[in-house]
C-alpha cells in the first residue's frame, strides 16, 4: 500500500524536486477535500510506480500555497521535477473527474518528455 506523505513548508520543495508528484492541497474543514481523501489514497496505491502523492494542508503551509497560486480547495497539482505541469481546482470534483484529469495530464506530460 502506498504511503501518502505529508508535505510542510519545510519539506515541500524537497518532496517535489524530482520525479512526478501529485500534490493534494486540502483543508480539514473542506468537505469536498475530506470526501476525496479515500480516492486519493486509492490513486496513490494504483499509481505508485508512476508518481508519488503528497498532501499539503493549506492552513499549515500558507506561504507554499501563496507561492503556488492556490486560491481554493481542493486543488490538485501535478508536478514533474519541481515544475507544475497541470492543475485541477474546483469546489466539487468527483473521483472520476480526478482520475480522468490525472490520466490525461500524465499522458500529455509523457508526450512532451518524449
CATH of the domain at 93: 3.40.30.10
pLDDT value, residue 12: 98
pLDDT value, residue 73: 97
pLDDT value, residue 110: 86
The parent domain of residue 22 ranges over 5-113
**What is the tens place of the pLDDT at every residue in 7-24?**
999 999 999 999 999 999
pLDDT value, residue 113: 74
pLDDT value, residue 1: 59
**What is the tens place of the pLDDT at every residue in 39-73?**
999 999 999 999 999 999 999 999 999 999 999 99
List Cβ<8 Å contacts ≥24 apart for 107-110: 109/20, 109/78, 109/80, 109/85
pLDDT of 114 strictly over 90: no
Q: What are phi and psi of 59, to 5 degrees?
A: -70, -20
pLDDT of 2 strictly over 70: no
> In the block, which residue shows the cell 476525496?
36
Q: Are 82 and 13 in contact (CB under 8 A)?
A: yes
The predicted model scores a pTM of 0.95
Total domains in the chain come to 1
pLDDT value, residue 64: 98
Amino acid at each position: 500500500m502506498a504511503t501518502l506523505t505529508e508535505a510542510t513548508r519545510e519539506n515541500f520543495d524537497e518532496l517535489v524536486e524530482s520525479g512526478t508528484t501529485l500534490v493534494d492541497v486540502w483543508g480539514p474543514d473542506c468537505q469536498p477535500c475530506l470526501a476525496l481523501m479515500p480516492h486519493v489514497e486509492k490513486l496513490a496505491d494504483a499509481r505508485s510506480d508512476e508518481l508519488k502523492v503528497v498532501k499539503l494542508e493549506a492552513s499549515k503551509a500558507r506561504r507554499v500555497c501563496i507561492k503556488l497560486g492556490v486560491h481554493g480547495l481542493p486543488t490538485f497539482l501535478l508536478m514533474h521535477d519541481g515544475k507544475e505541469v497541470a492543475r485541477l481546482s474546483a469546489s466539487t470534483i468527483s473521483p472520476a473527474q480526478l482520475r480522468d484529469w490525472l490520466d490525461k495530464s500524465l499522458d500529455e506530460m509523457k508526450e512532451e518528455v518524449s
